[in-house]
Amino acid sequence: MNNKGNKYIILLMLIAVVITSCKNQWDKHNVITDPALNINLLAQINQNPNLSMFSQYLVKTGYDKVISSSKTFTIWAPNNAAIQAAQAIDPTVLTDTTKLKSFIGNHISFQSYTTSMPQPSLRVKMLNGKSATFTKNTFEEANILQADNYVSNGIIHVIDQGILPKLNIWDYVKRLTSVGLNQKAYLLSQNYPHQDSTRATVLSIDPLTGKPVYDPNSGIDTLNHYLDNTQNLKSEDNQYTYFVLSDDAFNSETNKVSKYFKTNDPVASANLTNFSVTKDLALPGLYTPNNLPDTLLSPFNVKVPINKIAILSSYKASNGIVYVIGANNNISGINFRLQDKFPPIVIQGEKPTAFSSNSFFGDIYTRNRVDQNGVPFNDILIDGFGSNGTLPIGFYVRYNTVLNSISYKYYCRAINTTATTFRERVDFGFPDANGIYVVQSANPYFSVLPLNYSEVYLGTLNVNQYTRASAFVVNDNTTNTKGLNSITLDYLKLVPVLQ
């Protein structure tokens, strides 16, 4: 055999040796060296004598079978001293079957959670439906004594406190017995029944529509208008800060605003007043006593001033925190300012509700413009110079709004970009018994001067009842001269006269 053939054979032998060596190293790499990874969560807990009480109650609640399955769990296991301390706080927690199951389930979650995951904290959904806060070193109020114990189907962290399930904010409010009763009464008055079709019993199929006919008494849930329109204080998915006003504080705030919600129906007036006060007491996010500021901004863009001295008590809920606040000298610890509750109403010209005629859409423009100071703004122009000829006399653009029982000073900004002055007016209409909007406040025309970017004061509107209303911007009804009956509007502003 020649030298070239010998070199080829030697090369093949070297490649075979390398491959065999790599395979052996890879096999060694995949060998499980941690014996804990060969056992499941229950077996690992049973091997720890300091978790014997937790193990006992896993069996009693049936959670032993759950955590022995092939699914993945994380367990924050309270040691024996922690279990005993929890029982000292609530002696019934280990003897009441329902409480015990909720207590043990409050320490177990699906999926794997290591202490490297919180940045700086995580909200974790537990098997009892509650959520808990997990950090690198803590689980709720408990300290993590031993972290990240891996087993075949999950992770165990040993903690120094048993975490008793907390009420969510809504359940806490429903259980108030001595304070905040007026606020509680209003909130519960907003309950209403709702049928969940996924749980309702189907009686038949409507032959005309093909839709199911449900048993009206099945699948009924209790929902709440207040929760629908503010924050869902039942939800465990987010955290909230909620303020409960003592009865004197609640009365102080409702008395302050009730005159602005006058209607023909006393119950409706009371509901509007109560909602006005309470809508700004539910805020997203957790503000603990250490990070509670003097002022918060509600989701309704209302400043919430907080007199911390007036805080009577607090409760750490499963989905946030509740503060109970009193009053001092008939002044609420949350003393809302009227100007924050009732800010000016700004109606944007480029967002109309309707027109008196749909025949002139070709002459209606929403414009993106810049004022004399370089500030951008949007407005509407209904062009009297349009291709369809002059606009008809009395043409209007309509805007819907809601007004309180307040007097309003109202202003207009209308930008005329032509060289010709034209006139328009602003009228206000209110619904009659049939819901037809009738103009009850007709006003004089004002001149829209070329390139005038200033607000123009138009007058005062007195509103006797809380109501829906329409503002009508009307063109000049004295002329059909082309261009002299245009309409333009940047905005209308209604400023409440508060007393």
pLDDT of residue 28: 41
User: Does residue 34 or residue 9 have the better pLDDT?
Assistant: 34
Q: Are residues 365 and 380 in the same domain?
A: yes
Q: What is the CATH number of the domain that holds 435?
A: 2.60.120.260
Q: Are residues 196 and 228 in the same domain?
A: yes
pLDDT of residue 492: 98
Q: Where are the alpha helices (DSSP H) in 240-334?
A: 247-257, 266-278
Q: Are residues 134 and 149 in the same domain?
A: yes
Buried b (16+ CB within 10 A) or exposed e, 227-266: beebbbbebbeebbbbbbbbbebbbbbbebbbebbbeeee
How far, rounded to the nearest angstrom, does the alpha carbon of residue 276 sit from its chain's CA centroid?
17
Residue 329: which residues within 8 A CB-CB, separation 6 or more? none
Q: Judge whether 10 lies within some domain.
A: yes
Q: Are residues 177 and 313 in the same domain?
A: yes
pLDDT of residue 18: 44
Q: Are residues 395 and 483 in the same domain?
A: yes
CA distances from 471 to 108, 113, 398, 411 (A): 58, 57, 6, 12
pLDDT per residue over 261-281, tens digit each?
999 999 999 999 999 999 999
- Average pLDDT of the chain, as a whole number: 90
pLDDT of residue 5: 52
Q: Is the pLDDT of residue 485 over 50?
A: yes
Answer with the one of 336, 365, 398 that is the final residue of a domain. 336
Edge-to-edge strands, sheet with 311-317 = 282-284, 240-245, 320-325, 311-317
Structural tokens at position 42 = 């229950």
Q: Is the pLDDT of residue 385 over 90?
A: no
Q: Judge whether 164 lies within some domain.
A: no
CA distances from 270 to 117, 182, 277, 339 (A): 48, 12, 11, 20
Q: Judge whether 116 lies within some domain.
A: yes
Q: Are residues 40 and 27 in the same domain?
A: no
Q: Are residues 273 and 297 in the same domain?
A: yes
274, 275, 279, 281: CA torsion to nearest 10? 10
Q: Nearest to residue 183, comparing CAs of 64, 66, 327?
A: 327
- Start-to-end CA distance of the chain, whole Å, equals 114
pLDDT per residue over 93-115, tens digit each?
999 999 999 999 999 999 999 99
Q: Nearest to residue 284, comparing CAs of 169, 184, 189, 130?
A: 169
Structural tokens at position 342 = 């009732």
Q: Is the pLDDT of residue 89 over 70?
A: yes
Q: Are residues 362 and 304 in the same domain?
A: no
Residue 165: which residues within 8 A CB-CB, separation 6 or more? 102, 103, 106, 128, 130, 318
Rounded Cα gap, residues 34 and 153, in angstroms:
14
DSSP string of 149-188, one letter each residue: EEETTEEEEEESS--PPPPPHHHHHHT--SSSHHHHHHHH
Residue-level length of the chain: 499
pLDDT per residue over 37-75, tens digit each?
789 999 999 999 999 999 999 999 999 999 999 899 999
Q: Judge whether 151 lies within some domain.
A: yes
pLDDT per residue over 426-443, tens digit each?
999 998 888 788 887 678
Q: Are residues 24 and 85 in the same domain?
A: no
pLDDT per residue over 310-335, tens digit each?
999 999 999 999 999 999 888 899 99
Number of domains forming the structure of the chain: 4
pLDDT band of 10, cuts 50, 70, 90: very low
User: Does residue 362 or residue 344 have the better pLDDT?
Assistant: 344
pTM for the predicted model, two decimal places: 0.86
pLDDT band of 480, cuts 50, 70, 90: low
Q: Are residues 106 and 136 in the same domain?
A: yes
Q: Are residues 54 and 122 in the same domain?
A: yes
> What is residue 446's three-state secondary structure?
strand
What proportion of the chain, given as a percentage, has pLDDT over 90?
79
pLDDT per residue over 207-226, tens digit each?
999 999 999 999 999 999 99
Range of the domain at 213: 169-336
CA distances from 195 to 201, 214, 233, 281 (A): 10, 9, 20, 29
pLDDT of residue 36: 65
pLDDT of residue 435: 79
Query: Which helix (H) or strand (E) element contains residue 228?
Result: helix 225-229
Whether omega for the bond prior to residue 120 falls within 30 degrees of 0, making it cis, is yes
Query: Which helix (H) or strand (E) element contains residue 86?
Result: helix 80-89
Answer with the one of 109, 124, 159 that is the final residue of a domain. 159
Q: Are residues 349 and 483 in the same domain?
A: yes
Structural tokens at position 123 = 């909200």
pLDDT per residue over 124-180, tens digit each?
999 999 999 999 999 999 999 999 999 999 999 999 999 999 999 999 999 999 999
401 - beta bridge partners? 469
Rounded Cα gap, residues 84 and 81, in angstroms:
5
Q: Judge whether 7 lies within some domain.
A: yes
Query: Which helix (H) or strand (E) element contains residue 19?
Result: helix 3-29
pLDDT of residue 387: 54
Query: Which helix (H) or strand (E) element contains residue 59?
Result: helix 52-61
Answer with the one of 286, 308, 336 that is the final residue of a domain. 336
Q: Is the pLDDT of residue 389 over 90?
A: no
